[in-house]
Amino acid sequence: MTQKLDPWKSSEISDYAKLFEEFGISPFADVLSHIPNPHKFMRRGVIFGHRNFESIVHALNAKKPFVVLDGFMPTGRAHFGHKMVMDQIIWYQQNGAMAVVGIADREAHAVRGLSWAECKRIGVEEYLISLIALGLDPNRSRLYFQSECLPVMNLAFELGTKVNLSELSAIYGFSGETHLSHMVSTVTQGADILHSQLLEFEGPIPVVVPVGADQDPHIRLTRDIASKMNLFLIEVRKDKDGKNYFSVRGKGAPEDSFLRIETQLKARMKTKFTAKVSKEHMDIFGIFEEADEEILRTAVQEIELELGGYAFIPPSSTYHRFMSGLTGGKMSSSIPESNIGLSEDPKSAAKKVMRSKTGGRATVEEQKELGGEPNKCSVYELFYFHLVDDDNELLQIQKECESGELLCGTCKKNAAEKIEAFLTDHQEKRRIARERLCEFGIQY
Amino acid sequence: MTQKLDPWKSSEISDYAKLFEEFGISPFADVLSHIPNPHKFMRRGVIFGHRNFESIVHALNAKKPFVVLDGFMPTGRAHFGHKMVMDQIIWYQQNGAMAVVGIADREAHAVRGLSWAECKRIGVEEYLISLIALGLDPNRSRLYFQSECLPVMNLAFELGTKVNLSELSAIYGFSGETHLSHMVSTVTQGADILHSQLLEFEGPIPVVVPVGADQDPHIRLTRDIASKMNLFLIEVRKDKDGKNYFSVRGKGAPEDSFLRIETQLKARMKTKFTAKVSKEHMDIFGIFEEADEEILRTAVQEIELELGGYAFIPPSSTYHRFMSGLTGGKMSSSIPESNIGLSEDPKSAAKKVMRSKTGGRATVEEQKELGGEPNKCSVYELFYFHLVDDDNELLQIQKECESGELLCGTCKKNAAEKIEAFLTDHQEKRRIARERLCEFGIQY
């Protein structure tokens, strides 16, 4: 297969390159080959970037526990744009993750003016029921409403002591007109991301947050605050011969902490190492194996926890493209014609597909001659993101479109049938999911 | 009695005048005569200023429900400076108030670095047990820890949507270095003050907050946000003949709101009135009786609540002077010699009194000639604030001191005996209070 499934590559790559360079997001392609059975969004370049996904790759391969965390704001109906995120949550769960999902009702209430009852209804009816219907496993999931989650709120307050106005303004461009709770939302999201690592939940554990690139400021802020909260900072450095060594620094940790870490390493590591220990710092030479590095990180973590610290593992993130709206432009909950709701009538959804914007040419003749343009086609996006799991089948559609063989009418009809079938099935599953809410700890 | 019990008046009046003029704090003297059986802090000018205390005067006289709200930060031991506040809380409760007391453990944990367990221990052992021992009635009180109080946190978030960075900076002088949670504390205190007015608690109700003048920015901010949160604003205005009339404005209230208010008034008011109603505003002429004003306020409140609004009554506050430290200077929890702890050994406390700074002269001869200076004497302050309830007895001490009759040795001994007796009794009461925590809903 020489042709690659990534129709946007040519048109949008410049924007992404900027993200990679300016903000330090890494290309997802770099880690893709290390992921066992990658999700179609990974294979197809829908997920194009990441931060620190290596720790999730490690967990996936070593079958170690990790967390996938995401949140939904309950202001309108859940549509296929949200399904994208739900699909990822479920994929991670099926591959060993604990799924933690927060409903941002506090913001929906305070900023968007919805009543608490309405926030609850939308959160459950639109989001949680569809998430469960899509296959969430109650045994490894925790669903919560922000307004009911004390640990998140208390942690958010604590995170807020580690970031000042100048830092927030630099990241988000806040000004004098910014209201206080807009700023608070940044650390609330930080607490959403980090709270699973509190001892009352999972303790220190890798966490991955699948988001759009627009959410990256929250990820950067959270990673930054997480390291500020920690007592110890572990860094890989290079000695004068260019060899890697580990540096462990402590902020206000008791003087004997580093000696205690050294003792732990001596007891556990098989490889010979040397440690240079001072009051607030230690350098460790001779660790080259991943297993040894893990012993080091575990030893530091244990001592930090004993000292009452958090030992947060910096969270990981992935960045996905967004689907376009059916009418072209942005997909938006507030424009019903631009999206298909997960609880929408299947027949009306099929009609929307028949009316949607395609990458077809002005005339049939032109299209037969020039071929269609799948990279401008919202129907192709439906196949690409949701309706076609098999890469070969998708490639076939793309080829036939580009060659002018497949015309928009046929293609739309195909998509409309698939949408109708999916929604009919999904809504039957939603009916069952509603009965199972209590299995997920949801009072409704 | 021509001489007044207010030894600081001459030295500090200029500072207070500034508070009155610049910030709009009203002199407490203006309302004093309307208070049935005023507390000694009121009679003695310890409480020197207020905002909107008229609504509390009204509640006290009409025997209507109201709330007294205060908070303690559990960072160190509770001393006689805190007892000042506790005494006021209990006085209001004994005069009909519901007492609501919050322990600001979230700030103690996040900002001062105390563990949650330590915050809980100090909050209960130092503050709540002494408050109960001083006479708090479990039937009309609600004690809470901020970190456990979802309604306060959710309300704080909502209040935070009504205030922006510029406004906060203007009030508090925040700068780029100010950390986010420092800012959040302002609206958390606002939510502490306002949350009793939520329907899940008391609903709209007058609330008084007894504080030092340094806390006035929180009061001003809270009063300001409370009116921003409300759908309707009632103001008293003057017509062209200088007669009062009432103006009711609505922010985004449904168009028929004012007609509904008018209907209510017609049904309830005996006095003849005229109303000029427009879409977003109504003027009401002919209300001169307090009873009629109350009918108006109640009608507006009811319709606001029906519309899902809060109808907050702007909170009231009083401002008290602080006691000086025993060693002169400020009384501070972090300087043990400057204060006497409520759980301190009575004998050691008595010794502290014997070592404390008085308003005595350099020599006995000089003192006999010139008299002592009670306004510079920390022992006299102990009498004034805590140890002498009878104003005549206190005045006697003051006179004998000023005339040179009463020397510091005798006076200190008297104070030391009183302190020892008080603490011995208080600590016995603390022992009993500890057994009664569950009556106050405290799990410990």
ipTM of predicted complex: 0.88
In this predicted structure, what is the pLDDT of residue B355?
94
Is B14 a residue whose pLDDT tops 80? no
B177: which chain A residues are within 8 Å (Cβ-Cβ)?
164-166
**What is the pTM assigned to this prediction?**
0.91
CATH code for the structural domain at A233-306: 3.90.1150.10
- What integer best gives the mean pLDDT of chain B? 92
Distance from CA of B161 to the nearest CA of A (A): 5
Coil, strand, or helix at residue A67? Answer: strand
User: Taking a C-beta distance cutoff of 8 angstroms, is the pair B183, B168 a contact?
Assistant: yes
Residue A282 pairs with which residues in a beta bridge? A248, A277
- Point out the residue among B147, B165, B175 whose CB comes nearest to the CB of A174: B165
**Cβ A160–B180 below 8 Å, yes or no?**
yes
Is B9 a residue whose pLDDT tops 50? no
**Cβ B164–A176 below 8 Å, yes or no?**
yes
- Point out the residue among A107, A150, A161 whose CB comes nearest to the CB of B150: A150
**What are the domain boundaries of chain B?**
18-230+314-320, 233-306, 344-440
**Cβ B158–A181 below 8 Å, yes or no?**
yes
For Cα atoms B117, B122, B123, give the angle at the middle one, nearest 5 degrees: 95
Single-letter amino acid code for the residue at A107: E
A18-230+314-320 belongs to CATH 3.10.310.10 = no
Name the closest residue on chain A to residue B104, using Cα atoms.
Answer: A154
Average pLDDT over residues B122-144: 97
Residue A188: band (very low, low, confident or very high) from pLDDT cuts 50, 70, 90:
very high
Q: Say how many Å lie between the first and final Cα of chain B, rounded.
A: 49
Average pLDDT over residues B116-142: 97
Average pLDDT over residues B195-213: 96
Is A103 a residue whose pLDDT tops 80? yes
**Cβ A164–B180 below 8 Å, yes or no?**
yes
**Cβ B109–A162 below 8 Å, yes or no?**
no
Residue among B161, B183, B228 with most chain A CBs within 10 A, to mutate: B161
Q: How far apart are CA A382 and CA A415, in angstroms?
A: 7
Single-letter amino acid code for the residue at A408: C
Is B4 a residue whose pLDDT tops 60? no
Residue B317 pairs with which residues in a beta bridge? B51, B209
Report CA Rg, chain B.
24
Numbered residues of chain B with Cβ closer than 8 Å to any chain A Cβ: 106-107, 109-111, 115, 147-148, 150, 153-154, 157-166, 168-169, 174-184, 186-187, 308
**Cβ A161–B147 below 8 Å, yes or no?**
no
**Cβ B148–A150 below 8 Å, yes or no?**
yes
A186: which chain B residues are within 8 Å (Cβ-Cβ)?
180
**Cβ A165–B180 below 8 Å, yes or no?**
yes
B225: which chain A residues are within 8 Å (Cβ-Cβ)?
none
Residue B242: band (very low, low, confident or very high) from pLDDT cuts 50, 70, 90:
confident
Q: Which of A125, A126, A120, A121 has its CA nearest to residue A78?
A: A126
Average pLDDT over residues A408-426: 97
Name the closest residue on chain B to residue A177, using Cα atoms.
Answer: B164
- Residue A231 token pair: 């007592």
pLDDT per residue over B154-176, tens digit each?
999 999 999 999 999 999 999 89
Do the strands A281-285 and A274-277 form a parallel or antiparallel pair, or are they unpaired?
antiparallel
Residue among B116, B118, B144, B153 with most chain A CBs within 10 A, to mutate: B153
Percent of chain B's residues with pLDDT above 70: 97
pLDDT per residue over B39-59, tens digit each?
999 999 999 999 999 999 999
Residue B253: band (very low, low, confident or very high) from pLDDT cuts 50, 70, 90:
confident
A169: which chain B residues are within 8 Å (Cβ-Cβ)?
176
Residue A3: band (very low, low, confident or very high) from pLDDT cuts 50, 70, 90:
very low
Numbered residues of chain A with Cβ closer than 8 Å to any chain B Cβ: 106-107, 109-111, 115, 147-148, 150, 153-154, 157-166, 168-169, 174-184, 186-187, 308
Long-range contacts of A2-6 (CB under 8 A, 24+ apart): A3/A395, A3/A398, A3/A399, A4/A45, A5/A43, A5/A44, A5/A45, A5/A384, A5/A391, A5/A394, A5/A395, A5/A398, A6/A44, A6/A45
Average pLDDT over residues A410-428: 97
Q: Is A125 exposed, middle or buried (0-12, 13-18, 19+ CB in 10 A)?
A: middle
Q: How far apart are CA A138 and CA B274, in angstroms?
A: 63
- Residue A189 token pair: 């999201």
In this predicted structure, what is the pLDDT of residue B336?
87
Distances (CA, A) of B231 to A2, A181, B311, B339: 64, 20, 7, 46
B158: which chain A residues are within 8 Å (Cβ-Cβ)?
109-110, 181
Q: How far apart are CA A156 and CA A134, in angstroms?
A: 30
In this predicted structure, what is the pLDDT of residue B1?
32
**Cβ B160–A180 below 8 Å, yes or no?**
yes
Is B8 a residue whose pLDDT tops 60? no
Residue B21: band (very low, low, confident or very high) from pLDDT cuts 50, 70, 90:
confident
Residue among B181, B182, B224 with most chain A CBs within 10 A, to mutate: B181
Is A13 a residue whose pLDDT tops 60? no
User: Taking a C-beta distance cutoff of 8 angstroms, is the pair B288, B244 a contact?
Assistant: yes
Single-letter amino acid code for the residue at B363: T
Is B178 a residue whose pLDDT tops 50? yes
Residue A251: band (very low, low, confident or very high) from pLDDT cuts 50, 70, 90:
confident
- Residue B283 token pair: 């003027």
In this predicted structure, what is the pLDDT of residue B3?
42
User: Taking a C-beta distance cutoff of 8 angstroms, is the pair B178, B192 a contact?
Assistant: no
In this predicted structure, what is the pLDDT of residue B346?
98
Residue B246 pairs with which residues in a beta bridge? B236, B284
**Cβ A178–B165 below 8 Å, yes or no?**
yes
In this predicted structure, what is the pLDDT of residue A87?
98
**Cβ B183–A183 below 8 Å, yes or no?**
yes
**Cβ A176–B157 below 8 Å, yes or no?**
no
Is A140 a residue whose pLDDT tops 60? yes
Q: Which of B40, B27, B431 has its CA nearest to residue B213?
A: B27
Average pLDDT over residues B378-397: 95
pLDDT per residue over A369-411, tens digit each?
999 999 899 999 999 999 999 999 999 999 999 999 999 999 9
B377 contacts: CB under 8 Å, gap ≥ 6: B357, B358, B359, B360, B401, B408
- What integer best gives the mean pLDDT of chain A? 92
Q: Which helix (H) or strand (E) holds B419?
A: helix B408-435
Q: May I ask the CATH class of domain B344-440?
A: mainly alpha
Q: Which of A274, A273, A282 has its CA nearest to residue A253?
A: A282
- Point out the residue among B106, B115, B163 whose CB comes nearest to the CB of A157: B106
Q: How far apart are CA B391 and CA B384, in angstroms?
A: 9
Residue among B164, B185, B186, B224 with most chain A CBs within 10 A, to mutate: B164
